């Protein structure tokens, strides 16, 4: 078939003890945007690793046809030589090198005598940057760019390799809505230029907005490929394929019955650790027992910075303002003080800030409250295990044993371990920073259920999220932050994605 660019036939890939892919087939038409979705562990990344040659020919069964011809890849270089380029979720740019150096890394523009011709490289880089709509000097070090712009540099780098099939793994996961929209526009432009694109994404609204076809994977098998061009396929339809069941109500219901005020933060101002500006300015907010309060804001609005500075001055300098627990002013100058005042903060990036991934489940759960398990500095190891076992049952953590290393669990289960750790500190208020980022739909639902259970038990929850439907689905009230200032507070009954976004972008536009 002339209009088929890529065909993967009956790909089966096994790892010791696990079948990651079983008879997976994927057909991508020339010039389309093809979305791949599925829960974590469904086999999306493995499939892309097979396609890009990370898993070499011979390590899997099945065949790959590119442009109608069978291809055999023994590494990234092989797949790139025919024009297949993959951009990973964790961007692979070298921070201290310039944009141009990054774009031509491993693909250098050589001049006389094999030396690199930097004039040519910088000039070509400038052209490429223009084609992805990035207005930056090619000699700027990548570290000075935000994540959104770095993503564009990655795409420019792919274009420099004469890409024919561009694979993007969760391209918008770390982007704010404006950058995401820009990226999706760019993908449409690339499509017009005839570049075929495979996009792995958890964000179903983006898939329905942009994709021409969607292939759904579940448990290492192809469930279905949906034709999206007529616009009939809804997010619910995709979710049904991913989880194999209808999610009539994606956010579990909850009786809202807020009680007395638990945490109040007054006039909170935080300076950037090195730059001369306020990251958070004069923020006042409160949360009551049995209440979920959302904080909405774009990247750089100061949501995480607000939370981390309240939680033991873990961010910023010259922090001013007052923190009250149950109406009484408290000191939270160190993390230990914050914990002692029954504040818990579940960090945004689990692996970097939340977990010791090389330690076992048990030790991660006890890490923030070892004092409760010890006498005179000696830890009661048996009690620790029983606490961990209890969490495992209550939270439904899927792990072979509480002695298993956390790094081997799936994202959703890792998040449940982090939650267990903080619940064991017996907090009155939990600040959850992007608690469902990068975890699959089923695990998300479990996390939501846990949050609801917590507020039913009288805890107060502050939910920081980039996903507006999540905030609207889960919260009682939502604060909007923009450039460090509070720009609004809405009861959930008044909140819509549109008016929240209006508040989040109020005052000044974020600098380009």
- Interface residue list for other proteins (CB under 8 A): 15-18, 311-312, 314, 334-336, 338-339, 345, 347, 352-360, 363, 366-368, 370-371, 374, 377-379, 381-382, 385-386, 389, 400-405, 407-408, 421
Show the tokens assigned to 181.
């929209």
Q: How far is the CB of 448 from other proteins (least distance, A)?
A: 23
Q: How far is the CB of 361 from other proteins (least distance, A)?
A: 9
- Residue 285, helix vs strand vs coil: strand
59/127 with CB nearer other proteins: 59
Q: What does DSSP say about strands 84-87 and 165-169: parallel, antiparallel, or unpaired?
A: parallel
241/435 with CB nearer other proteins: 435
Q: How far is the CB of 395 from other proteins (least distance, A)?
A: 17
DSSP assignment of 245-279: S--SSSSPP------SEEEEEEEEEEE-SSSSSEE
Q: What does DSSP say about strands 196-200 and 33-37: parallel, antiparallel, or unpaired?
A: parallel
Q: Which helix (H) or strand (E) holds 47?
A: helix 44-52
The residue count for the chain? 512
Q: How far is the CB of 157 from other proteins (least distance, A)?
A: 27
CB 20 within 8 A of CB 43: yes
CB within 8 Å of 257: residues ≥ 6 apart? 290
290/354 with CB nearer other proteins: 354
215/366 with CB nearer other proteins: 366
Q: How far is the CB of 407 from other proteins (least distance, A)?
A: 8
18/116 with CB nearer other proteins: 18
Show the tokens assigned to 108.
């250098």
Q: How far is the CB of 323 from other proteins (least distance, A)?
A: 16
139/359 with CB nearer other proteins: 359
Question: What is the 3 state secondary structure string of 369-435?
Answer: CHHHHEECCEECHHHHHHHHHHHHHHHCCCCCCCCCEHHHCCHHHHHHHHHHHHHCCCCCEEEEECC
State the Cα–Cα distance between residues 239 and 236, nearest whole angstrom: 5
Q: How far is the CB of 438 from other proteins (least distance, A)?
A: 14
Q: How far is the CB of 367 from other proteins (least distance, A)?
A: 5
State the Cα–Cα distance between residues 386 and 365, nearest whole angstrom: 11
State the Cα–Cα distance between residues 444 and 248, nearest whole angstrom: 15
Q: Which helix (H) or strand (E) holds 305?
A: helix 303-310
Q: Which helix (H) or strand (E) holds 500?
A: helix 497-504
Instruction: Please list the residues that pair with 24 across neighbouring strands.
Output: 11
Burial environment of residue 370 by CB neighbours within 10 A (0 to 12, 13 to 18, 19 or more): middle
Q: How far is the CB of 377 from other proteins (least distance, A)?
A: 5
410/499 with CB nearer other proteins: 410
68/273 with CB nearer other proteins: 273
Q: How far is the CB of 425 from other proteins (least distance, A)?
A: 8
State the Cα–Cα distance between residues 432 and 451, nearest whole angstrom: 9
- Residue 328, helix vs strand vs coil: strand
187/406 with CB nearer other proteins: 406
Q: Give CB contacts under 8 A, 24+ apart, made by 465-468.
A: 465/294, 465/295, 465/296, 465/434, 465/435, 465/436, 466/176, 466/177, 466/299, 466/434, 466/437, 467/436, 468/296, 468/497, 468/500, 468/501
347/436 with CB nearer other proteins: 347
59/137 with CB nearer other proteins: 59
Q: How far is the CB of 378 from other proteins (least distance, A)?
A: 6
Gap between the terminal Cα atoms of the chain = 44
Q: Which helix (H) or strand (E) holds 456?
A: helix 441-456
Residue 145 is classified by DSSP as S
348/467 with CB nearer other proteins: 348
Q: How far is the CB of 338 from other proteins (least distance, A)?
A: 8
Residue 110 is classified by DSSP as B
81/390 with CB nearer other proteins: 390
Q: How far is the CB of 374 from other proteins (least distance, A)?
A: 5
């Amino acid at each position: 078939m002339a209009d088929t660019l890529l065909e993967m036939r009956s790909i089966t890939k096994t790892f010791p003890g696990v079948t990651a892919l079983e008879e997976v087939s994927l057909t991508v038409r020339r010039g389309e945007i093809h979305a791949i979705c599925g829960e974590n562990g469904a086999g999306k990344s493995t499939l892309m690793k097979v396609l890009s040659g990370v898993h070499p020919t011979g390590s899997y069964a099945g065949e790959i046809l590119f442009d109608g011809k069978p291809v055999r890849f023994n590494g990234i270089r092989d797949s790139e030589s025919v024009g297949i380029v993959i951009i990973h979720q964790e961007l692979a740019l070298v921070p201290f090198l310039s944009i141009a150096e990054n774009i031509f890394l491993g693909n250098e523009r050589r001049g006389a005598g094999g030396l690199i011709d930097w004039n040519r490289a910088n000039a070509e880089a400038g052209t490429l940057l223009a084609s992805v709509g990035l207005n930056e000097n090619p000699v700027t070090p990548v570290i000075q760019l935000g994540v959104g712009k770095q993503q564009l540099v990655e795409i420019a780098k792919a274009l420099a390799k004469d890409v024919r099939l561009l694979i993007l793994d969760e391209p918008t996961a770390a982007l704010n809505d404006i950058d995401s929209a820009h990226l999706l526009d760019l993908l449409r432009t690339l499509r017009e230029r005839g570049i075929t694109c495979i996009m792995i994404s958890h964000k179903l609204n983006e898939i329905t907005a942009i994709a021409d076809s969607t292939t759904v994977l579940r448990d290492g098998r192809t469930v279905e490929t949906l034709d999206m061009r007529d616009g009939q396929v809804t997010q619910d339809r995709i979710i049904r394929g991913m989880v194999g069941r209808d999610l009539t109500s994606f956010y579990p219901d909850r009786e809202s019955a807020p009680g007395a005020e638990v945490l109040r933060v007054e006039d909170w101002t935080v300076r950037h650790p090195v730059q001369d500006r306020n990251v958070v300015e004069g923020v006042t907010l409160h949360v009551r027992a049995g209440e979920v309060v959302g904080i909405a804001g774009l990247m750089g609005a100061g949501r995480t910075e607000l939370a981390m500075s309240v939680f033991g001055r873990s961010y910023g300098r010259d922090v001013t303002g007052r923190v009250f627990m149950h109406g009484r002013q408290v000191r939270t100058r160190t993390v230990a003080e914050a914990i002692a005042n029954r504040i818990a903060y579940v960090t945004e990036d689990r692996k970097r800030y939340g977990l010791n991934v090389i330690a076992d489940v048990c030790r991660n759960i006890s890490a923030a409250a070892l004092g409760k398990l010890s006498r005179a500095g000696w830890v009661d190891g048996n009690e620790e295990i029983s606490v961990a076992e209890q969490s495992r049952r209550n939270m439904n953590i899927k792990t072979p044993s509480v002695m298993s290393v956390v790094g081997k669990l799936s994202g959703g289960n890792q998040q449940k371990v982090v939650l267990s750790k903080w619940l064991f500190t017996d907090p009155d208020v939990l600040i959850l920073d992007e608690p469902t980022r990068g975890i699959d739909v089923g695990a998300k639902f479990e996390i939501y259920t846990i949050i609801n259970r917590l507020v039913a038990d009288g805890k107060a929850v502050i939910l920081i999220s980039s996903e507006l439907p999540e905030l609207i689905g889960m919260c009682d009230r939502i604060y909007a932050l923009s450039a460090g200032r509070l720009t609004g507070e809405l009861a959930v009954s008044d909140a819509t994605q549109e008016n929240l976004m209006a508040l989040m972008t109020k005052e000044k536009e974020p600098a380009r």
